[in-house]
Chain A
Amino acid sequence: MAKVIDGIVYMDNNATTMVAPEVVDAMLPYLRDLYGNPSSMHTFGGLIGQDVLEARVKIANLIGATPEEIIFTSCGTESDSTAILSALRTFPEKRHIVTTRVEHPAVKSLCENLETLTGHKYRVTRLKVDAEGMIDLAEYEDALREDTAVVSVMWANNETGNIYPIKKMAAMARERGILFHTDAVQAVGKIPFDLKTLDIDFLSFSGHKLHGPKGIGGLYIKRGTRFVPFLTGGHQEHGRRGGTENVASIIGLGKACELAAERMDEENIRIKYLRDKLEEGLLSAVPKSRLNGHKTDRLPNTSNISFEYVEGEAILLHMNQHKICASSGSACTSGSLEPSHVLRAMGVPFTAAHGSIRFSLSSYNCEEEIDYIIEKMPPIIELLREMSPFWKGN
């Protein structure tokens, strides 16, 4: 069994987050005594249905939606598949999808499968990104066709934190009668949302990225948008998603959204300050290091830095010795032989792509941790560079 490691410095919150203690407390009664089925006729179960509704209200409040516009799913990936497949079934005669080259595998793989498994019945346009990872809106406009059924563009990128101009892109799709989906798994809880003012038809989010539990996700479906369920079965979620509700996790997600709303300002001021301090500290302390992503249009918690001429897995394992947790876009960490598709799409040179480290903060991080990382990182990079045949000195 895995064990608790004391004193870790956790900077991998885009991978997953600590479940907030308040969330655990809110969930526990539903794992113990309140085990009823919310669909039941009896009071014992039925009252739990009330609690599920309250959770739905909290979630809707966080993103500026109404509770009826939210359905619960098992994860962000399920939400993505549900939305895109629903859109395709809504317009069976349309065969074109617009997405980007930097999507999360949840969308990327689905689109690949839609091409290959249907014998290329569906065609996918993947928008390019520039060196800072941003999309060209003119290219986007050109990509929208009469045949386009759905656009799926992430709100914020998991690796770089880049935020895309979703408001504008959704409006452009709406003008042409094209459905718009956004994978907002990395953005919900970190930045404010007001969906009632936007032309977004579908928005995916996930519990474990905002201090909720794993195994719970959600999908916003704009009122009036036609919807075809992905998982059919019982009448749960008004027939929009079969399967008995994951009650404890729904309650936990509700609590997590409530906390996220309370901490939104902190996230955007204190966390951003810590992130900027970390970023500036590392970029100035380590020669031949560079930021991957856009300098300003970015989540307040994410920093992706490449240390040239060294390899990411080796960096991470040395960081692990100091109990610092982060991620890398290097090939070796994923088991694939090529570095991350996001960094490659941005044209990050190989010298830097293999040595990329992603730091992603949360409101549980403090300034001492930032100072600690700024102190520990430069010697690790130096040590590995001295070992590297490509490093010719500063």
Chain B
Amino acid sequence: MWEYTDKVQQHFLNPQNVGEVENASGAGEVGSLSCGDALKLTFKADSNDIIVEAKFKTFGCASAIASSSVLTEMMIGISVDTASKITNEDIADALGGLPKEKMHCSVMGREALEAAIADYRGLKLPMAEGEIVCECFGVTDLEIIRAVNESNLRSVEEITNFTKAGGGCGKCEDALREILRKAVGKKAEIVSLDPLPKRMTALQKIKKIEEVLEREVRPGLKKDGGDIELIDVDGDFVTVSLRGACISCKKSQTTIKEYVEKKLRELVLDSLIVEEEN
């Protein structure tokens, strides 16, 4: 059971400003179903840049819903400029604190806010330009560096609590430690609270791909008289060969990209690229 403050419970049970603002001035969407939480934030600003309306839609746990709800309350009545200075710590503080494992919920709020404001100003999102470090949850190095600096993070476990990076297969752990080392500097002591690394070896990756093909993909193809065979896995490149009725099918490329690749990305690694053998 999580230790939630009264404020979190209050916002969770009676969330404020649920919904979508019609003809929104800015809209920001972060997270995904596979990640386990997602937030769509919309707001309307008047001619003086003051936020007059803000609404949210959230898929997630109690702290995700409470973070979204309190964020909309914080935004309404202030200027877009002031709102852009709201940090994830501000969101957590407004809730009287969050359990450390749930801090990523407040980060999600801040990210949605940033995305919505960038949309309002017609700007590109600076964070999205970084390089993806955690493939499971699509977290970039820039996002991680920012969380490390803003929230004074000192361990890979803390990075996971705040950004979710490293919370899936765990193979980016070394990369996270390196980012942490660079961001914190050599002087600072890096706390090592991390459990044994759970890497996905090339072999594990191949096994998992095979398993997903067998369970998720093959039955569907066989129904139409087709089949699929795994030819090679080289890094993120997965080579497959379609068999049976699929060979002559005009839609085979669509099958590969829309069906096979989507499944493998969802269930194995979201960076995989599936190609047909020539």
Partners in one complex: yes
Q: A330-B36, A332-B36, A339-B36 are in contact. Are A388 and B164 (CB under 8 A)?
A: no
Assess whether A313 is interfacial by the CB under 8 Å rule. yes
Asked if B101 contacts A335 (CB within 8 A), the reply is: yes
Contact with B along A343-364 (1 / 0, CB 8 A): 0000101110010000000000
Those of B117-133 within 8 Å (CB) of chain A: none
Q: A339-B36, A350-B33 are in contact. Are A314 and B15 (CB under 8 A)?
A: no
Assess whether B226 is interfacial by the CB under 8 Å rule. no
Instruction: Classify the secondary structure of A's interface with B.
Output: loop
Asked if B215 contacts A389 (CB within 8 A), the reply is: no
Q: Which residues of chain B are near A387, meaning CB under 8 Å?
A: 15, 18, 57-59, 65
Q: How many angstroms from the CA of A333 to the CA of B61 in the assembled complex?
A: 8
Which A residues form the contact surface with B (CB < 8 A)?
Answer: 116, 128, 130-131, 309-314, 317-318, 321, 330-333, 335-339, 347, 349-351, 354, 386-390
Assess whether B274 is interfacial by the CB under 8 Å rule. no
CB closest chain-B residue, reference A310: B59
Q: How many angstroms from the CA of A311 to the CA of B33 in the assembled complex?
A: 10
Q: Separation in Å of the B37 CB from the closest CB of chain A?
A: 7
Asked if A321 contacts B33 (CB within 8 A), the reply is: no
Q: Which residues of chain A are near B168, meaning CB under 8 Å?
A: 337-338
Sort chain B's interface into a size bin: 35 or more
Q: Which residues of chain B are near A330, meaning CB under 8 Å?
A: 36, 61
Q: Which residues of chain B are near A332, meaning CB under 8 Å?
A: 36-37, 60-61, 64, 102
CB closest chain-B residue, reference A344: B267
Q: How many angstroms from the CA of A17 to the CA of B62 in the assembled complex?
A: 26
Those of B122-170 within 8 Å (CB) of chain A: 137, 160, 164, 167-168
Q: Which residues of chain A are near B178, meaning CB under 8 Å?
A: none
Asked if B36 contacts A116 (CB within 8 A), the reply is: no
Asked if B12 contacts A389 (CB within 8 A), the reply is: no
Assess whether B73 is interfacial by the CB under 8 Å rule. no
CB closest chain-B residue, reference A308: B33
Asked if B61 contacts A388 (CB within 8 A), the reply is: no
Q: A128-B211, A337-B164 are in contact. Are A347 and B61 (CB under 8 A)?
A: no
Asked if A128 contacts B38 (CB within 8 A), the reply is: no
Q: A330-B36, A387-B18, A389-B38 are in contact. Are A314 and B61 (CB under 8 A)?
A: yes
Q: Which residues of chain A are near B18, meaning CB under 8 Å?
A: 386-387
Q: How many angstroms from the CA of A350 to the CA of B38 in the assembled complex?
A: 13
Asked if B29 contacts A313 (CB within 8 A), the reply is: no
Q: A310-B59, A321-B13 are in contact. Are A337 and B36 (CB under 8 A)?
A: yes
Q: Which residues of chain B are near A337, meaning CB under 8 Å?
A: 35-36, 137, 160, 164, 167-168
Select B215's contact among A131, A350, A388, beta carbons within 8 Å. Answer: A131
Assess whether B34 is interfacial by the CB under 8 Å rule. yes
Contact with A along B163-182 (1 / 0, CB 8 A): 01001100000000000000
Asked if B36 contacts A388 (CB within 8 A), the reply is: no
Asked if B167 contacts A338 (CB within 8 A), the reply is: yes
Q: Separation in Å of the B86 CB from the closest CB of chain A?
A: 21
26 contacts between A and B (CB under 8 A): A116-B196, A310-B59, A311-B36, A311-B61, A311-B64, A312-B61, A313-B2, A314-B62, A330-B61, A332-B37, A332-B60, A332-B102, A336-B167, A337-B137, A337-B160, A337-B167, A338-B36, A339-B36, A347-B215, A350-B266, A354-B33, A386-B18, A387-B57, A387-B59, A388-B58, A389-B58
